[in-house]
Structure 1
Amino acid sequence: MTSHQKNGCSDCSCSDIETASPDQQGTSLDFRVEGMDCPSCAQTLNKNLSKCDDIQKVNVNYSTAKMSLTVDQSVINDLSFIQDVQKRVAQVGFKAEPLTKPNKNGQVFTIEGMDCAACAMTLEKHMQKLPEVQTVKVNFSTGKMQIVHDITDDQVIKEVNKAGYRAFLDSQKQDGQSKQAKGSNNTATIASGILLVLGYAVHFMDFSALLSIVFYAAAIIIGGTKPAKSAYYAIKSRSLDMNVLMVLAAIGAAAIGQWMEGALVVFLFAVGNLLQNRSIDKTRDSIRNLMNLAPSEALVKQGKELILRPVEEITIGDTIVVRPGEKIPLDGTILSGATSVNQAPITGESIPVDKEKGDAVYAGTVNENGSLEISVTKLVEDTTIAKIIHLVEEAQEKKASTQAFVDRFAAVYTPIVFILAFAVMVIPPLMGFGTWGEWLYKGLELLVVACPCALVISTPVAIVSAIGNAAKNGVLIKGGTFLETAGAIKAIAFDKTGTLTEGKPKVSEVIPMANVSVAELLGIVRTIEEQSKHPIAQAICDYSLERDIPVLNGRDFKAIVGRGAQATIGTITYFAGNPKLFNELNVPLDHVKESIQTFQDEGNTLVLVGTKEKVLGFIAVADAIRPITVNAINKLKQTGIEEIVMLTGDNEGTARKIAANAGVDRYIAELMPEDKVTVVKQLQNEGKKVAMVGDGINDAPALATADLGIAMGGAGTDTAMETADIVLMADNLEKLPYTMTLSHKALQVIKQNIWFSLITKLAALVLIFPGFLTLWIAVLSDTGAALVVILNSMRLLKQKK
């Protein structure tokens, strides 16, 4: 079947496809597309890519195998956008490589000091105003800024510092300067606290009212310098973040003579920020720890010498040596040596995997015992661990639907409450209800309560924690949307071969007939099948080899397409194949018809062996269920999955046997690859959220159609990592129940955070007007609520596998 047929193209008469949105101008982004064998493939690509909001025009040229996208300038250097395009192309069976390279000045900086998503928005708007900056994207969840610019790195860092935050380009700079910056913040907070205590002590002893105010004012200035700087740039960027509200509250409190309240507001805000930043850093550490898995240097073999070189200088084909107990620095293939490798950092498997010559190994895994010589197969930036790190960071930047809703809510809520606070300050005293000072104080309280900091971070911090935990345990979740979707899944469709089963057929029984011994029968069939690469032929040959059955002297080997094979041994021509082959040869099968049916009903594939006159016997071959399958399916049902369906191209008998042994609820047999898409749609039409589990290659269309595509064995296939929404890095199902449990727990934590944030805000709003809420308690409720939300989200880091 050709790729255009597989993907739904019914004819080859259509020309190159171009689609455009009217009255839009953008920049061209070009790709080379592999796998198109018909002009109508352009239609398939067009339909898939036209769904992307950032693409204004699609032009696919079959003749040149090129695709040109007209996109907004803001995404032309966005690596995550380019990879999203590649994923969409891969989902319909093709491969796209970008011809337009991102700007070489595109860089990623680590940002520290952001208290919430509003801070990220303030910094982003500030950097966008610089004429030398083409594009910039700041993400609060990951603490990263992706920027394309024409200025020096030091100038970028300086501009970030102006806005009240800290930027670091690499880990070495971060390690030194970050500690220094954090120490400076701690010193300012401590000094502010000491001055606050001194001011209160002087006031309490009634020593000097003026001296007390001086101490309070000093506490406000020292503790409030950083938030004041951030507030200035927030206002300049037309943002209303927590820094703006806190500075206004402190200044307002001082203006009405509440100096202690103002100092207490600043101090509590500073302490709350320190605690929040420290807690959020712990959630980000799950990714930083991944980055430290692979060594920075490797022993390269040059002749008889071993030279220690940075991994960045090592190229494909170089030979590296890894000693017992050392981490493997780069992906490669073992040239010599045998060992056990702890692959837990990549796949999450707790048991070391035996490796020998010819086996693949991955950067970041640990060589448990034997010394190895490894031929490097991937550059440092292309290793599996590098891809995992990139995909996880990218995933944390993708907003879940809940987060997007909360952000929209906060964008409306904050200015409304800000206007309401101003109205509270002005309207009642103008109408003669109370004093200006009284209503100004209530308005300041309302300002503090206005910031939805806890609400805004309720979702992203939970998602970062969950995705980080999953990555540590060998599961890649490519975004908050997919994490949320996993929690709503009610039906899972499994591909059979290689997913529920091992995918490697094995001989289950040998039945000799016509006075032929088992050894004689295996000798004949091994001789016929020795030249074949078919999996069933290989299974029979392996079975014979294990029993020391020799190959006979054969000749005139011939493959019979769709039927079997033949060879001449001595003077007799022998055949090995399915029952159809012997029916066509007019060989009598009446005496074995019942046995054939029985074995097929039990899930076996039969290879009959004989001549043109008679059947000499047959061999039953079956695909064994993975040892973990039954346990994994039982655990999935315990997580709330209502229906588990098995999809297979095998016959009814094989499907029935595997389904019964595996414990699935329903099976559908004799399916072509495109039929699996139809079945997934049928399950969705039944009102269920459906996940599809497959190997990410043959099952790509079904994975793309399902509400959630889950690929297995991502450590071995780049296709699986590109096409699926969730990737199980190990080639087994043991991580799937853990993933579903984690998603349910994440949804639960997100709901808890949102409700807690809303109830806290509502309670604070209600307590303002009776006078039960003081300004410092309002600050404490806001920073405290944010801290509780973060700590609650961090529980997801501890979710057991």
Structure 2
Amino acid sequence: MSNVTTTTTYQVKGLCCSSEVKLVEDTLGPLPGVEGVQVSLAAGSVRVSHAPEFDPDQVGAALEPVGLSATPRKRPGAGSMPTRPPWWRDADLLPVLVAGLLIVVGVLCMHVFALPTVAVASLVVATAVGGFPVFKTAIRSAKRLDMDINVLMTVAVIGALILGEWLEAAMVVALFAFAEWLEGASMSRARSAIGKLMELAPDEARVVRDGQEEVVPVEMVGIGEQVIVRPGEKIPVDGVVEAGESEVDQAPITGESKPAHKRAGDEVFAGTLNGQGSLDIRVDHAPDDTTLAKVIEAIETAQQNRSESERFVERFARRYTPSVIALAVLAATVPPIFFGGDWETWFYRSLVLLVIACPCALVLATPITTASALARAARDGILIKGGRFLEELGRIRAVAFDKTGTLTQGRPQVTEVVPVSGVDDDALLRLAATAESRSEHYLARAITQAADARGLDYNGGRLVSFQAQVGRGVEAWVAEADLAQSKQAQQAKQAQQAEQVEMVAEAGESCCSGGCSSSATADAPAPSRSGEAGQKILVGSRTLLEEHGVDFDAASEANSARWTALEEHGQTVVGVARGDEFLGLIAIEDTPRPEAKATVERLRGGQVGDVYMLTGDNAVCASAVAEELGLDDDAVLANLLPEDKVSAIEKLSKRHRHVAMVGDGINDAPALAAAPVGIAMGAAGTDIALDTAHVALMADDLEKLPQAIDLGARTGRIIRQNIVLALGIKVAVFALAAVGMATLWMAVLADMGTSLLVIFNGMRMLRSE
């Protein structure tokens, strides 16, 4: 068998209870070539991992004998879930309507027209017609020794017929069949939220091939191809805009209320709606690997990360059903044998207990609520990877924020360049930019952007080697470090070189025909290459400079006092040194997000008691930012390396137990993974964030965080309500049955009615509050 595994997702019709989940797993698991089966009751789907040579049609063929049907999806994020037809055209409702009509005829013949034989015949036919689907499924379940609701209901109906309770038997069947149909319709409605996400991405794309536009199925679009999206069309792929400009409604992915302006170089996502402009998009993700596909996949695979409530219900249900069945057997035999009870009376009561034994309502209490909440969150641009993290969000008591890019805007700018005597500020910035030119750190980007803004040439082959010191700065070897060269001197040199080029070119025009040769750069030294000698340049924290023996107090213009003064004003300061010679300071500022302070206040005003800020910056700079946000100094943990952030999260988890870490999803990946709930900001289009974080805020919007926490708390409340409803009604009917006050049809109403109650209650999560 090949080591490569392929995954196919199927929509399964008839998947309504935990018994069907186990049935699907047991049926598909043993098939040759199948390596894994993952069933989502809430989504009504099954994901089958299999070898490439596996025939996908085997799944439908295997499920058909057990009364289920499976339809493969073309790809994640495509197509739609099967929808139920209107009730007047629904074939599944027809037996219920016929049975109901026959029951009316039977009652009229029995109590109005005094035709008992016709009445009994009508009621028996009503029982057969209405109960045929139930009886057929019960036979299949009995063969597997699976005591599901169909088996229990069939036994109860047969028992009622034996006792001569014709009307009771017919009513039980009709009520059960109608409730089953209603439950299926309700489940379809609950699943429609996920279905709407699936329908966002169009099935076709307009691709440019050989200079011609061609409309093809999205599955046939390859990475690197060019797709054209006209005004008003949905974007079919993830990619980068190459040409054109337009407003794009990204609400389905990011939850943003306003359209985003897109131009060349901007990312766009499949399933978003193009505005009035035309866009040429270069595809950078396969159709089954888009951001939308990952959102849908995360919701459907939420079963992997089941909440504590869901695991409790499953454990309880496994013990509950056999316990009640055993109790029903005892109720039918013990009182008549040992206490002289009436056989018929206690047999009837045991039948009522059998109906109560079905745990459907209890099993549905959690997954429907969770699926509705996950779909609601995804619609608002919040991706939550399962009930475990959703439930944990509702318990959060402390939140730890990364500072840069999370509480701040993540777009730091150089505010001051402070060189020592004899060093030009442009030359200092140029040298620092050369050393930082290969770094991806946000401070490095600020320095190189400042150099670009001043028109400084810092990448002319000067960098010989580069080494990042995590959390401290960089150590680089630069072949050319002429600090006396000011901007003006550099421009004069460039003008002189241009003049020389022009002179040589003119001379070449007059003598090249005679075979002469010339070089415009004959007097210019060749840049040094890797491995040649160079000068060591340090750009970074005090710690880095001190480790290399740099004395930054020796210079009067940029000394320790100036460094501290800049930090006290909320600036991040880096020092620049050549060897052990201190050359100057560069101050960089990253301002807090406009919504950061309000978000912190809202969190502390709700269920979250403590808010912390984690940063690799020094304590002075961090405290200045914290003061702007309304955080106390003891809530600031500064000078942290990535491993220190992990340790900090572990300590906070011990203190508060329920802790969330909020970061950018890339630099803070270890801390996000270590936290009970790791929350990534601005995750749309970011593979690492979508893969590693437990919760991803698709838009770069802090205000989504309190919304996610509130959603988790609300979900927990509704799940608890559902569990209490499911168990409470069962206990009440159980008590009534024990004293002979409950009938079979009352038990059916209680069982199926409770299932509908928990479904409708769980579906409240689809609404905003």
TM-score w.r.t. the length of structure 1 is 0.79
Which segment drifts farther, 671-680 or 133-142?
A: 133-142
Matched, 1:624 2:525: no
Matches of 2:92 and 2:385 in 1, distance apart? Answer: 35
Please state how far the C-alpha of 1:609 moved relative to its aligned partner: 9.5
Which residue is equivalent to 2:736?
767
- Given the superposition, is the C-alpha separation of residues 503 and 488 from structure 1 closer, same or farther in structure 2, using an over 3 Å criterion? same
Matched, 1:778 2:751: no
Cα pair 2:12 2:46 within 8 Å, conserved: yes
Which residue is equivalent to 2:686?
717
| SS of 2:611 mapped into structure 1 | strand
- Given the superposition, is the C-alpha separation of residues 215 and 322 from structure 1 closer, same or farther in structure 2, using an over 3 Å criterion? same
Query: Would you say how many aligned residue pairs link Structure 1 and Structure 2?
Result: 694
Please state how far the C-alpha of 1:383 moved relative to its aligned partner: 1.3
Please state how far the C-alpha of 1:122 moved relative to its aligned partner: 3.6
Which residue is equivalent to 1:167?
70
Counterparts of 1:442-461 in structure 2, within 5 Å, are: 442-461=349-368
Letter in 2 for 1:690: V
| SS of 1:110 mapped into structure 2 | strand
Matched, 1:663 2:570: no
Structure with bigger RCO (C-alpha 8 Å, 6+ apart) = 2
Per-residue displacement from partner, 1:394-434 (whole Å, max 9, x unpaired)? Answer: 11454222111111111111111111112212222234634
Matches of 2:95 and 2:309 in 1, distance apart? Answer: 37
Which residue is equivalent to 1:277?
184
- Given the superposition, is the C-alpha separation of residues 229 and 556 from structure 1 closer, same or farther in structure 2, using an over 3 Å criterion? closer
Matches of 2:701 and 2:18 in 1, distance apart? Answer: 38
- Given the superposition, is the C-alpha separation of residues 229 and 377 from structure 1 closer, same or farther in structure 2, using an over 3 Å criterion? same
Matches of 2:443 and 2:32 in 1, distance apart? Answer: 65
Cα pair 2:553 2:559 within 8 Å, conserved: no
Please state how far the C-alpha of 1:740 moved relative to its aligned partner: 0.6
Matched, 1:205 2:112: yes
Which residue is equivalent to 1:142?
43
Matches of 1:397 and 1:694 in 2, distance apart? Answer: 24
* Structure 2 residue corresponding to 1:597, chosen from 542, 555, 564: 564
Counterparts of 1:197-236 in structure 2, within 5 Å, are: 197-236=104-143
TM-score w.r.t. the length of structure 2 is 0.82
| SS of 1:589 mapped into structure 2 | coil
Which residue is equivalent to 2:17?
116
Matches of 2:217 and 2:582 in 1, distance apart? Answer: 64
- Given the superposition, is the C-alpha separation of residues 674 and 619 from structure 1 closer, same or farther in structure 2, using an over 3 Å criterion? closer
| SS of 2:705 mapped into structure 1 | helix
- Given the superposition, is the C-alpha separation of residues 496 and 746 from structure 1 closer, same or farther in structure 2, using an over 3 Å criterion? same
Per-residue displacement from partner, 1:72-97 (whole Å, max 9, x unpaired)? Answer: xxxx9xxxxxxxxxxxxxxxxxxxxx
Please state how far the C-alpha of 1:441 moved relative to its aligned partner: 1.2
Per-residue displacement from partner, 1:320-347 (whole Å, max 9, x unpaired)? Answer: 1111221111111111112222211111
Please state how far the C-alpha of 1:647 moved relative to its aligned partner: 0.8
Counterparts of 1:342-353 in structure 2, within 5 Å, are: 342-353=249-260
- Given the superposition, is the C-alpha separation of residues 230 and 146 from structure 1 closer, same or farther in structure 2, using an over 3 Å criterion? farther
* Structure 2 residue corresponding to 1:490, chosen from 361, 373, 397: 397
Which residue is equivalent to 1:34?
none
Which segment drifts farther, 175-184 or 639-648?
A: 175-184
| SS of 1:351 mapped into structure 2 | coil
| SS of 1:374 mapped into structure 2 | strand
Matches of 2:83 and 2:486 in 1, distance apart? Answer: 84
* Structure 1 residue corresponding to 2:3, chosen from 100, 125, 134: 100
- Given the superposition, is the C-alpha separation of residues 134 and 680 from structure 1 closer, same or farther in structure 2, using an over 3 Å criterion? closer
Which residue is equivalent to 2:532?
none
Matched, 1:737 2:706: yes
Matches of 2:342 and 2:445 in 1, distance apart? Answer: 92
- Given the superposition, is the C-alpha separation of residues 126 and 610 from structure 1 closer, same or farther in structure 2, using an over 3 Å criterion? closer
Matches of 1:384 and 1:176 in 2, distance apart? Answer: 23
Which residue is equivalent to 2:676?
707
Letter in 1 for 2:740: G
Letter in 2 for 1:277: G
Cα pair 1:122 1:234 within 8 Å, conserved: no
* Structure 2 residue corresponding to 1:797, chosen from 762, 766, 769: 766
Please state how far the C-alpha of 1:210 moved relative to its aligned partner: 1.3
Matched, 1:588 2:495: no
Cα pair 2:223 2:283 within 8 Å, conserved: yes
Letter in 1 for 2:587: A
Which residue is equivalent to 2:657?
688
Cα pair 1:557 1:568 within 8 Å, conserved: no
Matches of 1:681 and 1:174 in 2, distance apart? Answer: 43
Please state how far the C-alpha of 1:199 moved relative to its aligned partner: 1.2
Per-residue displacement from partner, 1:200-241 (whole Å, max 9, x unpaired)? Answer: 121121431111111111111111111112211222222222
Which residue is equivalent to 1:296?
203
In percent, how many aligned pairs have the same letter?
37
Matches of 1:137 and 1:513 in 2, distance apart? Answer: 65
Per-residue displacement from partner, 1:748-787 (whole Å, max 9, x unpaired)? Answer: 0111111111111111011113332121111101111111
Matches of 1:731 and 1:265 in 2, distance apart? Answer: 55
Which residue is equivalent to 2:611?
644
- Given the superposition, is the C-alpha separation of residues 225 and 114 from structure 1 closer, same or farther in structure 2, using an over 3 Å criterion? farther
Cα pair 2:540 2:574 within 8 Å, conserved: yes
Matches of 2:81 and 2:35 in 1, distance apart? Answer: 29
Which segment drifts farther, 328-337 or 530-539?
A: 530-539
Which segment drifts farther, 725-734 or 321-330?
A: 725-734
Matches of 2:419 and 2:96 in 1, distance apart? Answer: 86
Structure 2, unpaired ranges of 5+: 468-473, 491-536
Which residue is equivalent to 1:287?
194
Please state how far the C-alpha of 1:704 moved relative to its aligned partner: 2.1
* Structure 2 residue corresponding to 1:437, chosen from 339, 344, 351: 344
Cα pair 2:424 2:486 within 8 Å, conserved: no
Matches of 1:384 and 1:590 in 2, distance apart? Answer: 51
Cα pair 1:490 1:640 within 8 Å, conserved: yes
Please state how far the C-alpha of 1:507 moved relative to its aligned partner: 3.5
| SS of 1:327 mapped into structure 2 | coil
Please state how far the C-alpha of 1:537 moved relative to its aligned partner: 6.0
Structure 1, unpaired ranges of 5+: 1-75, 77-98
Matches of 2:461 and 2:67 in 1, distance apart? Answer: 81
- Given the superposition, is the C-alpha separation of residues 135 and 605 from structure 1 closer, same or farther in structure 2, using an over 3 Å criterion? closer
Which residue is equivalent to 2:301?
394
Cα pair 1:528 1:557 within 8 Å, conserved: no
Matches of 1:248 and 1:611 in 2, distance apart? Answer: 89
Matches of 2:79 and 2:629 in 1, distance apart? Answer: 53
Matches of 2:571 and 2:80 in 1, distance apart? Answer: 61
Matches of 1:177 and 1:282 in 2, distance apart? Answer: 8
Letter in 2 for 1:120: V
Please state how far the C-alpha of 1:273 moved relative to its aligned partner: 1.3
Which segment drifts farther, 184-193 or 159-168?
A: 159-168
Which residue is equivalent to 1:254?
161
- Given the superposition, is the C-alpha separation of residues 644 and 315 from structure 1 closer, same or farther in structure 2, using an over 3 Å criterion? same
Letter in 1 for 2:382: V
Matches of 2:265 and 2:486 in 1, distance apart? Answer: 40
Please state how far the C-alpha of 1:167 moved relative to its aligned partner: 2.8
Letter in 1 for 2:102: L
Please state how far the C-alpha of 1:525 moved relative to its aligned partner: 5.5
Per-residue displacement from partner, 1:527-576 (whole Å, max 9, x unpaired)? Answer: 55665536546535656877xx5559999967998489954455899999
Letter in 2 for 1:118: S
- Given the superposition, is the C-alpha separation of residues 113 and 196 from structure 1 closer, same or farther in structure 2, using an over 3 Å criterion? farther
- Given the superposition, is the C-alpha separation of residues 363 and 685 from structure 1 closer, same or farther in structure 2, using an over 3 Å criterion? same
Matches of 2:169 and 2:599 in 1, distance apart? Answer: 58
Which residue is equivalent to 2:328?
421
Matches of 1:241 and 1:610 in 2, distance apart? Answer: 76
Please state how far the C-alpha of 1:523 moved relative to its aligned partner: 5.4
Letter in 2 for 1:407: E
Which segment drifts farther, 329-338 or 551-560?
A: 551-560
| SS of 1:488 mapped into structure 2 | coil
* Structure 1 residue corresponding to 2:149, chosen from 221, 242, 246: 242
Matches of 1:790 and 1:306 in 2, distance apart? Answer: 47
Per-residue displacement from partner, 1:236-258 (whole Å, max 9, x unpaired)? Answer: 22222211111111111111011
